[in-house]
Amino acid sequence: MTTTTIEKPEAPGRPTSAAVPPMNRCIQMPRFELGERLTPEQAEFLDTFGFIRFKGFLPRAEVQKLVEEVEAIDARLVAEGRTVINGVPLIIGKRKDGRGFIQRMCFASTFGERLHTFLQDPRFKAILEIAGPGYRIGERERDGLVINHYRREEGSSYKRLGWHTDSLRDLFYFEMPRRYLNVGFYLDDSPLTKGGVRLIPFSHNQGLWPMLTRKIHFMDTDPDPGEYALEAEAGDLTIHDGRIWHRVAEASVTGDASQRRVMYVPLMEGPEILKHEDSPMPVYFRLRRFARF
């Protein structure tokens, strides 16, 4: 594994060290910890590079309690035969013995008290503050608290995810793409062997046209010369700008060794539109099903 310190290039998105293979070039950053508010250094890092990582947001013992609740919710939803929650489809995989498991769970905090309590952590106010005026945590909006569960094995429906920008999804809600923050909390260690997030630093500064055309959204999974791997440990919290190009690489290991679970905190602004069981499925998810990504 090669660790490289990122230096700001002359132009957004320009690679800084093409000699290092993209799949093995990891991000080195200060050991940031999140307090009552982001420090000027932390805010500048996020604004400059388009992402940041906070170490040890929760201790491992607390993470394990959340994992236990997530696994209980997973078993409950599978037993109930649920395939859609509030109009949003679940992504379901199968284990070797044929048992199903949820690989993309939405509105998770509405099924578990520990997850709901997690979203009340006062430190999220610091993130809402830098997100912008009027931002809130929307447990019952859009997709709510999402948990992605990646595994590389036969039967898995979620082994990797192609290049995309989160802000482009706004178009499917008839809104212009805008800056918003995607907040991820790691339930498992995510070393390079598990694949994990790959980002193109500075690409959050792009305009609408490159956001639409630089890559084929979700279908393009190839490494990029300017990408970096973001490693994290269970209990870490990451933020990336929704306009940045990123993907999830496939693990080089298989089975339990490849398991990687990340929760995404729902930050919302504007009018509150709560989802319910009769909510229609957004066009975005219908297209995903058609394209099979």
Cβ contacts of residue 33 below 8 Å, gap of 6+?
54, 55, 56
- Give me the residue spans of the domains in the chain: 31-270+280-289
> Looking at the domain 31-270+280-289, which fold is it?
Jelly Rolls (2.60.120)
What's residue 176's pLDDT? 60
Check residue 208 and give its pLDDT: 73
Contacts for 225 with CB less than 8 Å, ≥ 6 apart: 15, 18, 22
pLDDT at 15 over 70: no
Please enumerate in sequence order all residues whose Cβ is within 8 A of that of 41, keeping only pairs 6 or more positions apart, or say none: 30
Give CA–CA dist 291/176, Å, rounded. Answer: 23
Across 7-11, 116-120, 241-245, 286-290, least confident range = 7-11
Please answer whether residues 211 and 87 qualify as being in contact, where contact means their C-beta atoms are separated by less than 8 angstroms: no
**Angle at the Cα of 239 (from 102 to 223), degrees rounded to 5?**
75
pLDDT value for 284: 62
| Average confidence score pLDDT of the chain | 87
Q: How far is CA 124 from the centre of its chain?
A: 16
**Over 60: is that where the pLDDT of 10 sits?**
no
What value does the mean pLDDT take over residues 131-160?
96
5, pLDDT greater than 60: no
Provide mean pLDDT across the span 31-57: 96
pLDDT of amino acid 180: 80
Show the tokens assigned to 36.
């009552």
Q: Say whether pTM exceeds 0.75.
A: yes
For range 98-114, the mean pLDDT? 97
Q: Sorting pLDDT into bands at 50, 70 and 90, what band is 210?
A: confident
Q: Does the structure show a pLDDT above 50 at 18?
A: no
Measured distance CA(170)–CA(15) in Å, rounded: 28
Closest-CA residue to 264 (of 80, 101, 141, 84) = 141
Average pLDDT over residues 230-249: 95
